[in-house]
């Protein structure tokens, strides 16, 4: 695979990168290079245009006002939406996940339009904030082991008919709807509430994005001992009674 190349775009790190979500970009980049892939990583700040020629786009979480600013600028820029139309792979976390939906509630208490790249609508929950470790069984069609992550959000995200749940929670609130769903996805666009960063805890997600971007069924094996030790630690911690 040494003759392959991949363009990785980290979207708005100045606005959307809470709880170490930039670690997702580091994990995807590292796991690509471990397979001999030539990776060009592009960090796009919110005052810069989003390129449309990327292969994988990553978006993190953020506080309420930065989320609104990011949504406004992404709508005005249009680059991420055009990249999705071109078949790019997009993975989003928390505030970024809400932005990819049809709408969410912004810091002014108003309904803010999203990009409509996933068939979801996010509102603000009235109960306790969703905080803590998450264990979730990923959609079997994605073929990955149980996921571990950390959530911290007030949002409640409802899936429309064309969105599939990314996972089903064993522990944690996930989308906050009470139906056990966590995140959502369609063919090339993914969203989750899980931080951690989620790909450090679950490097198989990074591998999934790489396989989709490269249109291959498998990747060469790599040393996963560190990742598996972290996964085992976090799964054991989450499984302990409170």
SS3 call for 84? helix
Q: Is 129 annotated among the ligand-binding residues?
A: yes
153: annotated active-site residue = no
Structure tokens at 128: 């306790």
94: annotated active-site residue = yes
Structure tokens at 235: 């799964």
Q: Rounded to whole angstroms, how far apart are CA atoms 149 and 215? A: 27
- Taking alpha carbons only, the member of 84, 110, 112, 80 closest to residue 98 is 112
- Asked if 75 and 102 touch (Cβ cutoff 8 Å), the reply is no
Catalytic residue among 102, 153, 158, 195: 195
Catalytic residue among 94, 102, 130, 153: 94
Residues with catalytic annotation? 94, 195
Q: Which residues are annotated as a binding site for substrate?
A: 129
User: Per the annotation, where are the binding residues?
Assistant: 129
């Amino acid at each position: 695979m040494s003759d392959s190349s991949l363009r990785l775009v980290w979207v708005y790190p100045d606005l959307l990168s809470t709880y170490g979500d930039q670690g997702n970009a580091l994990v995807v980049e590292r796991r690509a290079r471990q397979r001999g892939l030539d990776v060009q990583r592009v960090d796009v700040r919110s005052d810069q245009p989003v390129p449309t020629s990327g292969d994988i786009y990553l978006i993190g979480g953020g506080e309420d006002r930065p989320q609104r600013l990011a949504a406004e600028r992404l709508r005005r820029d249009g680059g991420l939406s055009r990249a999705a139309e071109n078949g790019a792979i997009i993975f989003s976390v928390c505030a970024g996940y809400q932005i990819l939906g049809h709408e969410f509630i912004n810091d002014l208490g108003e309904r803010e339009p999203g990009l409509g790249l996933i068939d979801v609508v996010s509102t603000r929950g009235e109960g306790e904030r969703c905080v803590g470790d998450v264990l979730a069984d990923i959609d079997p069609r994605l073929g990955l082991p149980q996921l571990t992550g950390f959530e911290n959000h007030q949002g409640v995200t409802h899936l429309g008919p064309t969105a599939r749940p990314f996972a089903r929670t064993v522990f944690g609130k996930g989308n906050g709807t009470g139906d056990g769903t966590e995140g959502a996805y369609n063919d090339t666009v993914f969203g989750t509430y899980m931080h951690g960063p989620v790909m450090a805890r679950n490097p198989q997600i990074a591998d999934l994005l790489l396989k989709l971007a490269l249109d291959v069924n498998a990747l060469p094996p790599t040393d996963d001992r560190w990742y598996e030790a972290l996964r085992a630690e976090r799964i054991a911690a989450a499984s302990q009674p409170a």
